[in-house]
Structure 1
Amino acid sequence: MSAVSEKLAAAREDLKSRDGVLIAFSGGVDSSVVAALAYDALGDDAIACTAKSETLPAAELTDATRVAEEIGIRHEIVEFSELDSEEFMQNDDMRCYHCRSMRLGAMYDRARELGIDIVCDGTNASDTGEGHRPGLRAVEELDAYSPLLEHNIEKSEVREIAREYDLSVADKPSMACLSSRIPTGLEVTEERLSRVEKAERLLRTWGFEQFRVRDHDGLARIEVGEEELETALDPDFVRTARDHIEDCGFDHVTLDLHGYETGSVSPETEESAEEDVVSNVFDADYPSVD
C-alpha cells in the first residue's frame, strides 16, 4: 500500500468513527475530497454545506452544487453576508480571519440545526506553510476538524486522491474568495466585489483557466497563468479585454506581466519583506543601453 493510500485509509476510518459530519464545502478540490471521503465513510450522515455570500462567485456556487451531485452527498446552502461586519470591510491583514470566522460560524449554526456536532473543512498539510494565513486561526479557534491536515495529506496528494475518486475538480485551480482581489487596506464593498466577479466571468468565458482580476480602486490588474500569458498579450485580446472589462465598472485595465501570483495584494510575509524591492522605478540603477 502506498503512503497516500495509507493516509487515505486512515482518514476514512477516522471519519467513520464519527456520528456525523458537516463539511464546509466550496466545491474546490480540497473540500471535495473531504466530502467524498466523508460520504464514503458515513453515507447519509455526511452533509456538504456551502456558504453563499457576496464574496462567492455565482459560478463557484453552481460548480459546488454540481460536484456535490457528482459525489452523491446531500448539499445544504447557508446564506450570510461578510459585509455585515465592519471589521471585514476594513480589509486589514486579518480580513481572512473575520471571513472564516463568520463562514464557519454559519456552518456550525446549520450543523446544530441538523443535530451534528462536527464541522470539517478542507485545510490540507501544505496550507500551514504558505505564509500569511489568518483564516487558519479561525479554524483552530472554532475547533473545526481538518481531516486532510490531521492525516498529513498534502496538496499534491489531495489531487491524487481526487483522481482516485474520479472527481471532475481534481485539477481545478485554487479559487480564493472575491475579497482576495482587493488590496489590503482598500475597503471591501459590494461594488468592487461585483465588478471583479463580472470581469473574471469574462476571462473564464474566454477560456482562461488560472487568473485573477485585482481591483486597485477602479484599475483592473489582470493576472493570468504563465502558460496563458502569450494569449493575453495578443493585440486582439488586449482590445477586447480593455473594452469589455471597462464595461464591468473599471476605469482602467492593465495586464500584469508577472502573471498569476497567489496573494499578490495580501500582506507581505516575513520572508518577502526581507527581499530587495525597488519602490520607485525612477530611482533604480538600470544598465545603460548605449
Structure 2
Amino acid sequence: MPSNESAENNTQINIDIDTDTDTDTDTGAASSFQSHVVSRDNDGDMDMLASSVDTIEDIDIDVSSAKIETALNRAAAARDSLADCDGVLVAFSGGVDSAVVATLAYDALGSNAIACTAKSETLPAAELEDAHQVAAEIGLPHKIVSFSELNDENFVENGSDRCYHCRTMRLGRMYDAAHEHGIETVCDGTNASDADGGHRPGLDAVDELNITSPLREHGLDKEDVRIVAAAYGLSVAEKPSMACLSSRIPTGLEVTEDRLNRVEAAEAALRTWGFSQFRVRDHDGLARIEVGSDELTDALDIDFVTAVRERLQELGFEHVTLDLHGYETGSVSPENEQKSTETTSADRSIETIKERSNNKNTESSISAIVEPSYPTE
C-alpha cells in the first residue's frame, strides 16, 4: 500500500483521478475515452458502461494517476484501431483480458463484433457459463464452437509445445466461425505482459495465424487491463486468471479425458469451499493443491483437510498434498527445465510422499510439499 505522503500521486482506483499531477502524461486520449464511455451510457446503449473514469469501481490494486491515464490512453488507441475493422470476432474465454477486448470491440463496432468461445474437454464448465454471462453483460452475441484437442496426438503427448498445438486448433476454429459471419479479423486477449518472456509457445500460434491482439499491440499490460475493466464496470475486473485444464498436468504426462475430468471436479470442490485462487495439479495420481498465499491458513484447517482428502480420493487421486509455496502460475510448465536440480527436487518430494504412504499401507492422506515445485512461468 502506498504511504500517506505519496497519496497525492498515488490513489486507489475508486478515487478521482488527479489530472493536475506534475506528469507529462497526455490526457487527451484518456479524456476522450471517458467521454465516450459516458456518452454510450447516456444513449442507453450499454448500461454496463455507467462507470466513468473518475468513479472507477474499487478493485484490489494501487496505482498512480499517471498509470490510470496511461492505461486509458492505450485503451482508447486499441478501441480506435478496432473501429477501422469492418467487423471482428473475439476469441472469448470470459476472463478479464478477452472481456476487455470484447468490450472495446463492441464499443467501437457495436453489432459488428462477436464473442466466440471454443468448447472442449480442457475448458471447465463453470468457465463456459461465466463466458456466456460476461458476453451478455457486454451485449455481444456469443457463439460457441466445439472441438477436441484430444484428437491431436501432439497435444495428448503433452510436450513442451502443447500450448502451440492447442492454440492452433482453437484459433483455427475461431477463423472458421468468423468466415461463417463474413468477418476477416479474429482478436484475442493476449496482453503486453504475456509477451514479456517465459515459455509461451501459444504466442507462436497467435503470430503464425495473424491473430489481432489489440492489448499487446497497444502496450496494455496486466495492470492496465484491470484498470480498463474497472473503468467499464466489468464484473470480471478482479477475476483471477484461469488457464485451461491441461495446464494442471506436468509436461510429459499424457493428457487424458479422465485426468482432465478429475482435475475439473477437484477444482470445483475448492471453489465450493470458498477458495478464490487455486489449482489442483495432477502428478499421475498425486493431487498437488495450490491456493493463494493468503488462503494457506484456511487450507490447513483440519475440517478442510478431511473433506478435501475424502473428496479427491473419491475422484481417483491416491494421494493429496498441499504446496506450501502457494499458487504459482505455470508451476508444471517446462520453462527453465535446464534447472534440473529444482525439477529433480520437486519430483523427489512427490515420489517420497508416494513411497511413505505406500510403505505405511495407509489410505489417501494430505501432506505438504515444502521443496520447490516445478519451475514457474
- The TM tier, using the shorter chain, reads over 0.9
The question of 1:137 aligning with 2:180 is answered: no
Structure with higher Rg: it is 2
Judged with a 3 Å threshold, the aligned counterparts in structure 2 of structure 1 residues 229 and 194 are, in CA distance, closer, same or farther, namely: same
TM (norm. structure 2) is: 0.73
For 2:315, the equivalent position in structure 1 comes to 248
Q: Which residue of 2 aligns with 1:220?
A: 287
2:271 to 204, 209, 213: 204
Superposition deviation, residue 278 in structure 1: 6.9
For the residues of structure 2 that align with 1:197 and 1:130, how far apart are their CA atoms? 28
Q: SS where residue 117 of structure 2 aligns?
A: strand
What value does the CA root-mean-square deviation take over the aligned residues?
1.5
> Which residue does the alignment assign to 1:269?
336
The one of 44, 65, 69 aligned to 2:132: 65
Partner AA of 1:131 in structure 2: G
Match of 2:115 in 1: 48
Post-superposition CA distance 1:209-266 (Å, at most 9, x none): 0000000111111000000000001111101110011112211111111111111111
Tell me if 1:191 matches 2:258. yes
CA distance in 1, matches of 2:104, 2:315: 40
- The aligned counterpart of 1:178 is 245
Deviations 1:259-288 (A, max 9, x none): 111111110337x83886773679xxxxxx
Shift of 1:193: 0.2
Q: How many residues align?
A: 281
Aligned amino acid, residue 200 of structure 2: R
Correspondences of 1:160-175 after superposition (within 5 Å) = 160-175=227-242
* Larger RCO (alpha carbons 8 Å, 6+ apart): 1
Partner of 1:147: 214
Q: Residue 115 of structure 2 aligns to which amino acid in structure 1?
A: A
- State the partner residue of 1:122: 189
Residue 145 of structure 2 is matched in structure 1 by: 78
4+ aligned runs moved over 2 Å, structure 1: 272-282
Measure, in 2, the Cα distance between the counterparts of 1:4 and 1:170. Answer: 14
CA distance in 2, matches of 1:261, 1:277: 15
Q: Under a length normalisation based on structure 1, what TM-score does the superposition of the two structures give?
A: 0.94
**Which residue identity lines up with residue 273 of structure 1 in the other structure?**
K
Distance 1:156 1:246 in 2: 39
